[in-house]
Structure formats: structure tokens, C-alpha cells
Amino acid sequence: MATGPDSADDGSFSPDDYRSLHARSLADPEAFWLEAARAVDWSQQPERALDSAAAPLHRWFPSATLNTSYNALDRHVEAGHGDRTALVYDSAMLGLSRTYTYADLRDEVAVAAGALADLGVGAGDRVLIYLPMIPEAVIAMLATARLGAVHSVVFGGFAPAELAARIRDARPSAVVTASGGLEPGRRVEYLPAVREALALADSALTPVMVKHRDGFDSTGPDGHRAGAHWVDWDEAVGRAVAVPPVEVVATDPLYILYTSGTTGAPKGVVRDNGGHAVALAWSMRSIYGIGPGDVMLTASDVGWVVGHSYIVYGPLLAGATTVLYEGKPVGTPDAGAFGRLIDQHRVNVLFTAPTALRAIRRVDPRGEAIRRHDLSSLRTLFSAGERLDTGTSAWIGDLLGVPVVDNWWQTETGWPICASPRGLGDLPLKAGSPSLPSPGYDVVVLDDGGSPVPAGTEGSIALRLPLPPGALTTLWGSDERYRDSYLSTFEGYYTSGDSGYVDEEGYVFVMGRTDDVINVAGHRLSTGAIEQVIAGHPAVAECAVLGVEDPLKGQRASAYVVLKAGEHPDPAELEADLVRMVRAGIGPVADFRSATVVEALPKTRSGKILRKTMRQIAAGKPYTVPSTIEDASVLDVLKPLLRPAQRG
């Protein structure tokens, strides 16, 4: 495979070199991305990179053709690497591990694509995938791509109404599911949810392919195991014939991914084939430092964007080994789960969310469970999903003995907006920052009027158009909704919805969502900055700071903290300590004086704290419990603790 542009294998790449590379990506995107496109195998080579004819909607590599599944699998086999390990399935829930070579995975994907074709799926059709973390999830995604079809993966366990909303929007030609998923201490039946969702979406006749798992209900509609429209995965692939990859135009959609926490009509982010392959290939080499034969463990779920990019497509495009983990960071069986995975599979790069790291720290503050394992293969830990607080970053870095690299991106962007490109050299890291903008991302901090602010000044983080390859090209079925949702606030910019600042050296600091900025007596303060101070207390595992209404000052900050295991400070003394820390770290202007200890914070299944819902409860406003919530009972416990905040 070709390397990324200006890559340096000798480690001599400097911050000035990187800034020059980044500046070139903005000044001459045509040359930069055509060079990066050499890492992809094309059926028809791109003659140009950027198509701005329909600006502000931009397209990448128009008229070029390829197949993403071929790039992820076949080309490695054809190059003589069929015996290299492509996928390791590790199920802590079942206590087993299974390995697939590139040849194995290519063959299984080709036959699964044949099974989907037998159901009537062709190029451009949609396939909705509702599967747990099992190999069939990866195979179904790649099989759909092999046909030139469009997959829409829905996180396993979503409620029927949410699943139905996605079926109505995508109108799939087939649904691929399993009889159930495994969670610590419980089994989640999928088929009743699928049946109800199809009925709600008026799509009861849509073909459904079911991977049956032991211990689950194996019946289809009306109690029948298989009807005219429900087929067994194993039986379907058993009689299918392998099919070759279908050539598609680079601008054709590869997948639709609905944003988590969506209310009302779902927003289906559309990712194309060509730009996606080029961006991920560049990021694997240059950001994550992963090449052929390396092992990457991304502890996420294929239902989220991190799973799409860095469990499935990214590592396979790079010719690396990807670990598919069915388990949790704690409780399967203990807080040493990541250590076991690193040791057993000789993992080189671990990618996980800050919430997973905080969960480990809370249960095992000394990291004894992880230390029991051989971690010598690990080179780097990457983290994304929420802001990584400096305390957790320092703790896990000391524990693992490797650099901890925060990176910032979104479902919409598909790959990091900001990261330290570890594959280009050891660029300096700054605590609390996801480092420097990635090539093609022109990060600008704007005030409320849309004017750029000076370095060090907090404002709305925006991305100057065009977005680079790999970012969303539109929302499914509605270019206008894409414009209204992301491009209308500041003309010429994509609005990230995040608040932060850029320092004098160009490092970006993301402090939280723009609605997490509070106004205390006319002073704009970031709740993320206050959280970072509070997280530095030795007893605090994680926290959420809300802006609650204050009759005198407009708003004031109120903190809700979760303690580490074994920590039992006096609540009044803890609150006094935190008040002193915030006064010292932020200043008296924060007027911080309230900290409440809670057992847990409400989170989505992807690990994001539901701050908006907490704010609505605290303000006594109507709220809807998001379908993505991990444990709704946490909100019931929090309600009486949040509502006093309204009264002060």
C-alpha cells in the first residue's frame, strides 16, 4: 500500500513539518488528496479530487470507481497476504476467541453477499443491520458493500420505535439481525423488537435474515422459525454462491449512520465510498500508526461511528488485524479486561472512550487488575467520544506506560478532526487537548456573530468548507436538511456544535457542547473547564457540571460527582475542597458552591453523559428519556437530587 503524503518512517517529522503538511492540505487539497488516494485500489483512477459544482455540498473523486469491500479484503489476498489474520473475535460473554484470516473473511463475505443477493439486494439498495458484537456484524457490513449496496447499522438493543424510525427513513430491501445479544447478567432478545419495528414501519414483508444464537428465542413472525420473508443466516449462506465485488462510483453512498440521541425524524449521516476509503487509509497510517500486520483493538460497538471506522473499515483497509470484542471494560470478568485483551492478542493500539477509562479507574483505582497482564506489545492508547479529562489521561498513561492521545471527531466527520498524528512522529502532546487539526480540517473558533476570535478565546468551533474526504456528504434523503442542520449558522462553515478555543501553537481545546457554556453574571464559562478542575480531586472518578438557573446571576454551576471505589469522604468536606479547587482553577467569577455525590451519571450506550437531560430535569422542564440511554433507572435516582438545584 502507498503511504500517506509526506510520511516519515525515521521519526524525524517535526511539529513545523506537520503544520506545513496541514497548510498544504488546505492550500492545495487537489494535490494533497490525489496523492493520498494512491493508498486505495481503484477500478478507474480519480482524475481529480474535489468537485465543488454543487457547493456548499462538495463531492470527492468524481467519476472514479472502486469497491470498498474489495479494498478491505480481496486486494490483500491477491497480494499474497491471505494467511494474515484479519479479524479476531473475542467474546468475554461466551469465553471464546475465534480468528479469521484475510482469505477466510473474504470467502465468508463473498458468500454472505450472495445470500443477500438471493434476497433481492442489489447496488444502491439499503440493508439494515441490527446485530450484536459478533463476526456476522462485520461480515454483513462488508457483504453489503461488496454488492454496492448501502448498509445502515443500528445499535443492537434499540427500542422498536427507534428501530422503526430508521426503517421508515432508509427503506431497506433486507434486514440482517440475530436472535439476541449478551449483556453482563442478562440476554437481550432481538426478534420481538424486529417484528414490532417492521410492523410499526409498515414493512412487515421486508426479508429478514437471522443469525440464531444458543439460548434465545429462535422463532420468526407468528411463532414460525422461518417464513416466506424470514430466513436463517446459516441456511442462507449454506446455499448461496460467492459473488464478486461490484464496481461503484466513488461518490455513491457506502452507508447511512443515524446520529445517537436523535428525536423526531432521524438524521441519517451519509458516507460515500471513495472519500471514506482515502480518509481512513490516511488516518490509519498517519494518525494511528497502524500498518500491515499490526493489531488494533477498538473497544466500541459496530453500531457507532468509531466501530464503523476503526473496528471494521480502517484496520482492514490498512491490512492490519482488528479485534472484535464482545464484552465490557469492567465486569467481564473484572477491571483487567483490556489488559487481558492486550496480552492475549498482542495489541499494538488500543482505542476506547474516556467513559470506559473512568469506569476502570472507579472500580480499580490502583489498576491492579490490568497490571497483572503483559502490556509490552502496546504502543499507544487513543481516546475519543467525550472530552478526556487530564486526571484520567495521566492515570491511564502511567498505568499502561504508553502515550495517551485524545482525538476529537463526530459521527458526521467519520474520522478525527483533531489528533496527534503518531504515525508521522512523536509530536508533543498537551494535556486536555486533542492536539492539532487533521489534514483538510480548517478549524476556526467563532463568536456569536460568526467572526473569528483571538487565540485562547473560547467560542463556537466551526470547520471552514469544504470538509475533507470521509466526512458526511449529506443527510439521507434531504440535502436541504443537511444545509439547515449544519451549514446555515455560519455561512461558509460546518457548525460542529462544540465550544472551545485554539491556543497560540494551534492546539485545539474542546470544552463541551455549545449549550454547555453557562453565563454567570455576564461571564461566559465552560462547564467542561469546571469539570476538568473537579476531576483532579483524588476521590473523584467522574463528574458532570450543569448550569442551573439563578435569580441573581442568571446561571450558576452545580456539580454531580461519582467517587472512586473505596473513597468515602465527608460530603461537606468534599464540597468545600471542590469549591476551593474551582476558585483556584477558574476563579471566583465561577461562583461555584454546590457539589452532590451520586452513585452514577446517566449515559448513552456510547458513553456520553446526558447533560442536556440532566439540565432539563434540574430546570423543571419537560424532557424525553433518550432511547440511547444505558440505564434509565439512573435518572430516577437522580431526579430528587437534581430538582433541588432549581430551588438553589
pLDDT in tens, 5-55: 444 444 567 889 999 999 999 999 999 999 999 999 999 999 999 999 999
The answer to whether 111 touches 240, Cβ cutoff 8 Å, is: yes
The answer to whether 618 touches 643, Cβ cutoff 8 Å, is: yes
pLDDT of residue 264: 53
Low-confidence ranges of the chain (pLDDT < 50): 1-10, 223-227, 261-263, 646-648
DSSP 193: H
- Taking the C-alpha atoms of residue 587 and residue 94, their distance in angstroms, rounded to an integer, is 51
Alpha helices per DSSP H over 49-122:
68-69, 75-76, 102-118
Nearest partner of 207 among 221, 192, 187, 228, judged by Cα: 228
- Taking the C-alpha atoms of residue 145 and residue 240, their distance in angstroms, rounded to an integer, is 17
The answer to whether 562 touches 570, Cβ cutoff 8 Å, is: no
pLDDT of residue 463: 98
What does residue 227 show for φ and ψ, rounded to 5 degrees? -115, -165
User: What DSSP element (H or E) covers 527?
Assistant: helix 527-534
What does residue 15 show for φ and ψ, rounded to 5 degrees? -55, -40
pLDDT of residue 511: 81
- Taking the C-alpha atoms of residue 431 and residue 637, their distance in angstroms, rounded to an integer, is 33
Report helix, strand or coil for 363: helix
The answer to whether 105 touches 73, Cβ cutoff 8 Å, is: yes
Residues contacting residue 110 through CB under 8 Å, at least 6 positions apart: 143, 146, 242, 243, 244
SS3 content of the chain, % helix, strand, coil (to 5): 35, 25, 40
The answer to whether 342 touches 377, Cβ cutoff 8 Å, is: yes
What domains lie within the chain, and their CATH numbers?
85-249 (3.40.50.980), 521-647 (3.30.300.30)
